[in-house]
């Protein structure tokens, strides 16, 4: 992997540490010249063709607050490079997160020596020392819409719940507590949540577990985190540093819509619903028991942030995977030749919010966008949505479909589409 270093410091002194970490490095000649080199088609930077341009000075403020002795005044005076060895290591670590950055939905975490110091099966529940700052941060992410999954190798009969731990069982949408490989457990968890493995970030202090996850599931982001340090007094600062990186590089988009804030609760409610499914003889009886409700209407300006969010993230039930922006939706809402239908749902376990939208081009009599959140799949909402749209515009519209590597569920729906399809949803 190629990285070009940027910043107004002596970058050639930093380059060896990046090379030691396994990267091919380019250093522009002179402070700040990377900007000029980027504009010059014949420059060394353009010929190097880096995978990333990394501004090492952009993270000075955050890292100086997280790393003791981040700056070294002697190095600043002698070599125009203001970082200590600890500071350089922190910069390289920051790049490891930077290069993996991408919007994600799910945070899968280990327990032993991650949620707490100690090993539950060896030390016992009462001897565990909870990482309170980290647990509080995870709970805050969960409240903003991040889906938490617990992956721990422990006896499933053991409980870690204690009054001094901010996290509880209910904060995890899925819990896998067993001695099986974590990669297999994560596959099962994602299948249960109906999300892709490429939407997951994995945090574990054990390098063996991280290596196994990376080898078996390369689409999962395995965080390059080596656990808490030996200095217990540093734990709160270390926790804030890890949480800052998780939020900044993977979960910066969460918490922006009402649907984000109820997402984690809705997944937990779905887990509760699944637990009751075994008591029903048919899927139909199970769906009837959920008291499925839907509120259909035409989209309004206030829906635009949520619509843009769904367009950017939804893959499985997405007819054309058109990635529309907020500006695109604003234009659609003002276009008289278009109709944008939205559907918000609930069941007896709680509200799911706006989970489906359909865009109709009245002139061509076609649906150009048909998008539904993965957490609404398997409940016949797509049948209700199509029927509602057809009744509203007075005819059954054709549907544009562009097959992709991930939207096979929509293709299955389209292959079985009928003018009148049964649904277990009732309008409200």
Of the ranges 271-280, 313-322, 380-389, 415-424, which is most confident?
380-389
Residues 65 and 111 in one domain: no
Is the pLDDT reported for residue 257 higher than 90?
Answer: no
Q: What is the pLDDT of residue 384?
A: 94
Which of 70, 98, 126 is the C-terminal boundary of a domain?
98
Instruction: Specify whether 135 is located in the same domain as 223.
Output: yes
Which residues constitute the domain of residue 74?
2-98
The total number of structural domains in the chain stands at 3
10 Å CB burial of residue 390 (0-12, 13-18, 19+) is middle
Angstrom distance (rounded) from CA 197 to CA 199: 5
137, 232: one domain:
yes
Select from 222, 21, 224, 57 the least CA-distant residue to 3: 21
Q: Which helix (H) or strand (E) holds 88?
A: helix 85-98
pTM over 0.75: no
Q: For residue 237, give the nearest of 57, 64, 60, 59 by alpha carbon.
A: 64
170 plus 147 within the same structural domain: yes
- 377: in domain: yes
In a domain, 241, yes or no: yes
CA 368, distance to chain mean position in Å, is: 27
Q: For position 334, what pLDDT does the model report?
A: 96
Q: Are residues 150 and 132 in the same domain?
A: yes
pLDDT of 18 higher than 80: yes
Of 32, 66, 98, the position where a domain reaches its end is 98
> Residue 30: what pLDDT?
67
Does residue 401 lie in a domain region?
Answer: yes
CATH code of 377's domain: 3.40.630.30
What was the pLDDT predicted at 419?
Answer: 64
**Which pLDDT value is given to residue 389?**
96
**pLDDT at residue 336 in the model:** 95
The average pLDDT across 278-282 equals 73
Residue 311 is predicted with a pLDDT of 93
Residue 122 is part of a domain; what is its CATH number? Answer: 3.40.50.1000
* Domain membership flag for residue 192: yes
Give the Å distances, CA to CA, from 183 to 48, 152, 213, 267, 298.
36, 11, 5, 21, 42
Chain centroid to CA 427:
31
* Res 92: pLDDT: 96
111 and 94 in one domain?
no
In angstroms, the CA 66 to CA 91 distance is 11
For residue 31, is pLDDT > 80? Answer: no
Alpha carbons 423 and 287: distance in angstroms, whole number = 10
> Which of 98, 117, 144 represents a domain boundary (last residue)?
98
Instruction: Tell me, yes or no, whether 82 lies in a domain.
Output: yes
Residue 322 has pLDDT above 70, yes or no: yes
Q: Is residue 346 part of a domain?
A: yes
| Rg of the Cα atoms in the chain | 25
Model confidence at 194, pLDDT cuts 50, 70, 90, reads confident
Instruction: Output the CA angle 262-423-307, nearest 5 degrees.
Output: 40
Q: Does residue 153 sit in the same domain as residue 73?
A: no
In this structure, are 17 and 92 located in the same domain?
Answer: yes
Of the listed ranges 65-69, 87-91, 231-235, the one predicted with least confidence = 231-235
- pLDDT tens column, 97-148: 999 999 999 999 999 999 999 888 778 888 889 999 999 999 999 999 899 9
Same domain, 136 and 94: no
DSSP per-residue string spanning 49-86? --SEEEEGGGGHHHHHHHSTT-B-HHHHHHHS--B-HH
Phi, psi of 46 (to 5 degrees): -65, -35
Q: Which of 40, 41, 10 is nearest to 27 (CA)?
A: 10
């Amino acid at each position: 992997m190629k990285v070009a270093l940027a910043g107004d410091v002596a970058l050639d002194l930093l380059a060896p540490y990046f090379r030691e970490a396994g990267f091919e490095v380019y250093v522009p000649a002179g402070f700040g010249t990377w900007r000029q080199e980027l504009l010059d088609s014949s420059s060394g930077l353009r010929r190097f063709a880096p995978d990333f341009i990394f501004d090492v000075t952009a993270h000075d403020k955050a890292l100086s607050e997280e790393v003791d002795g981040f700056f070294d005044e002697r190095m600043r005076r002698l070599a125009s490079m203001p970082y200590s060895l600890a500071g350089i290591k922190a910069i390289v670590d920051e790049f490891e997160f930077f290069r993996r950055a991408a919007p994600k939905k799910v945070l899968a975490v280990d327990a032993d020596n991650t949620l707490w110091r100690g090993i539950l099966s060896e030390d016992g529940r009462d001897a565990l020392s909870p990482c309170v700052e980290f647990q509080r941060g995870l709970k805050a992410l969960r409240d903003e819409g991040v889906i938490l999954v617990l992956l721990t190798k422990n006896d499933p009969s053991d409980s870690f719940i204690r009054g001094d731990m901010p996290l509880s069982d209910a904060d995890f949408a899925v819990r896998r507590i067993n001695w099986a490989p974590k990669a297999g457990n994560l596959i099962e968890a994602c299948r249960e949540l109906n999300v892709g493995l490429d939407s997951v970030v994995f945090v574990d202090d054990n390098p063996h577990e991280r290596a196994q996850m990376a080898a078996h599931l390369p689409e999962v982001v395995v965080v390059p985190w080596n656990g808490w340090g030996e200095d217990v007094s540093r734990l709160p600062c270390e926790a804030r540093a890890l949480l800052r990186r998780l939020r900044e590089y993977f979960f910066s988009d969460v918490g922006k819509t009402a649907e984000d804030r109820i997402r984690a609760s809705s997944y937990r409610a779905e887990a509760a619903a699944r637990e009751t499914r075994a008591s029903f003889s048919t899927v139909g009886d199970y769906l009837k028991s959920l008291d499925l409700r839907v509120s259909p209407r035409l989209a309004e300006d206030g829906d635009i942030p949520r619509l843009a969010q769904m367009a950017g993230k939804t893959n499985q039930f997405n007819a054309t995977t058109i990635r529309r922006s907020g500006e695109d939706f604003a234009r659609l809402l003002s276009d008289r030749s278009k109709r944008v239908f939205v559907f918000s749902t609930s069941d007896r376990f709680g509200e799911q919010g706006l989970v489906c939208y359909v865009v109709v081009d009245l002139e061509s009599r076609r649906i150009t966008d048909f998008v539904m959140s993965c957490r609404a799949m398997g409940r016949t909402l797509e049948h209700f949505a199509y029927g509602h749209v057809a009744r509203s515009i007075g005819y059954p519209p054709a549907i544009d479909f562009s097959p992709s590597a991930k939207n096979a569920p929509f293709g299955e729906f389209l292959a079985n589409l009928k003018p009148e399809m049964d649904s277990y949803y009732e309008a409200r």
